């Protein structure tokens, strides 16, 4: 079992550009959540997808959008990048409706210059 | 989700038990206490969770007070590899909208 995989691991973008990050959940998991982690801070919840719909959303602007595919994989899109979007982006997978743990990927380190 | 409060940092001697406290005084009846840890630049790793009974697994023990307003994560024999940031989270089960605070940075000292 490969666990949660994220791609790419690192990338550098220019302010104003758009970026797409990808996540494949742990085998058998149906729910994907995305987090942003700035340096020295805890992860901040962006949104969560289940059955290809956004189910919950944190306090992030509409520039942050996502998608979940029928195979449960997910994408995070960020438009009009700002310098402040530089962070580690984490994907977590879990099972909807159960009190079980989330499994996290290793993250994508995004640097906006 | 209930807010949790943790000390920002702690030290523990290698081989000794590490006891990490967490305050969650506003926790509601259906919220579980979860513990995760994050080793530098890696994704968070699940440790243990519980509702009201004490729990133990191969990694740690979780002690929840009877009123559920606080809990303690116990690493019985800390090793250098346990150096990490430990997050205590109180959340409604099943939907995984996990709200992390700053956590406790545990430094295990040789």
Helix (H), strand (E), coil (C) string for B2-53: CCCECCCEEEEECCCCEEEEEECCCCCCCEEEEEEEECCCCCCEEEEEECCC
Q: How confident is the model at residue B1 (pLDDT cuts 50, 70, 90)?
A: low
The band of B93, judged by pLDDT with boundaries at 50, 70 and 90, is: low
| pLDDT value at residue A1 | 64
Interchain contact, A99 vs B87, CB within 8 Å: no
Is the CB of A99 less than 8 angstroms away from the CB of B93?
yes
Q: Which residues of B touch A (CB under 8 A)?
A: 32, 34, 41-46, 49, 51, 85, 87, 93-103
pLDDT for B94:
54
State the pLDDT confidence band at A23, using cuts at 50, 70 and 90. Answer: very high
Q: Please answer yes or no on whether A106 and B46 come within 8 Å at the CB atom.
A: no
| Residue A106 pLDDT exceeds 60 | yes
Q: Which of A92, A97, A106 sits opposite B94 (nearest CB)?
A: A97
Residues of A in contact with B32 (CB under 8 A): 99
Reported as a pLDDT band with limits 50, 70 and 90, residue B4 is very high
Chain A contact set for B51 (CB, 8 A):
99
From the list B34, B100, B104, B35, the residue with the least C-alpha distance to A44 is B100
User: Mean pLDDT over all residues of chain B?
Assistant: 92
Give the A:B interface size as CB pairs under 8 Å.
64
Amino acid A100: pLDDT:
82
- Asked if A110 reaches chain B (Cβ–Cβ under 8 Å), the answer is no
| Residue B81 buriedness (CB in 10 A; 0-12 / 13-18 / 19+) | exposed
Q: Which of B42, B51, B98 sits opposite A102 (nearest CB)?
A: B98
- Please tell me which of the candidates B42, B85, B95 has its beta carbon nearest to residue A56: B95
What Rg, from alpha-carbon coordinates, does chain B have?
13
Distance of alpha carbon B30 from the chain centroid: 18
**Distance (Å, whole) CA A80 – CA A76:** 14
Answer whether residue A35 shows pLDDT above 60. yes
Model pLDDT for residues B11-63, shown as the tens digit of each residue: 999 999 999 999 999 888 888 999 999 998 799 999 999 999 899 999 999 99
Quote the pLDDT of residue B41: 79
Mean pLDDT for the stretch of residues B81-92: 92
Question: How many angstroms away from the CA of B77 is the closest CA of chain A?
Answer: 23
Find how far residue B50's CA is from the centre of its chain. 11
Q: Please indicate if any CB of chain B lies within 8 Å of the CB of A84.
A: no
- Say how far apart CA A88 and CA B43 lie, in whole Å: 9
Q: How far is A62 from A92, CA to CA, in rounded Å?
A: 21
Tens-place pLDDT, residues A43-77: 999 999 999 999 989 999 999 999 999 999 999 99
């Amino acid at each position: 079992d490969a666990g949660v995989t994220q791609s790419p691991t690192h990338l550098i973008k220019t302010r104003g550009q758009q970026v797409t990050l990808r996540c494949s959940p742990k085998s058998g998991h149906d729910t994907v959540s995305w987090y942003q982690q700035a340096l020295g801070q805890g992860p901040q919840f962006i949104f969560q997808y289940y059955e290809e719909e956004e189910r919950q959303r944190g306090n992030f602007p509409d520039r942050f959008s996502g998608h979940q595919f029928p195979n449960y994989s997910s994408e995070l899109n960020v438009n009009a990048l700002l310098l402040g979007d530089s962070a580690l982006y984490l994907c977590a997978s879990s099972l909807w409706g159960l009190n079980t743990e989330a499994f996290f990927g290793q993250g994508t380190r995004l640097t906006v210059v | 989700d209930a807010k949790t409060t943790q000390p920002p940092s702690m030290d523990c001697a290698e081989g000794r038990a590490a006891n990490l406290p967490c305050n969650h005084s506003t926790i509601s009846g259906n919220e579980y206490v979860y513990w995760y840890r994050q080793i530098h630049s890696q994704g968070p790793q699940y440790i243990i969770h519980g509702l009201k009974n004490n729990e133990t697994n191969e990694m740690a023990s979780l002690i929840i007070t009877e009123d559920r307003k606080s809990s303690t994560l116990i690493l019985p024999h800390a090793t250098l590899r346990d150096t990490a940031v430990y997050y205590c989270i109180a959340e409604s089960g099943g939907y995984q909208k996990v709200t992390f605070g700053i956590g406790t940075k545990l430094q295990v000292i040789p």
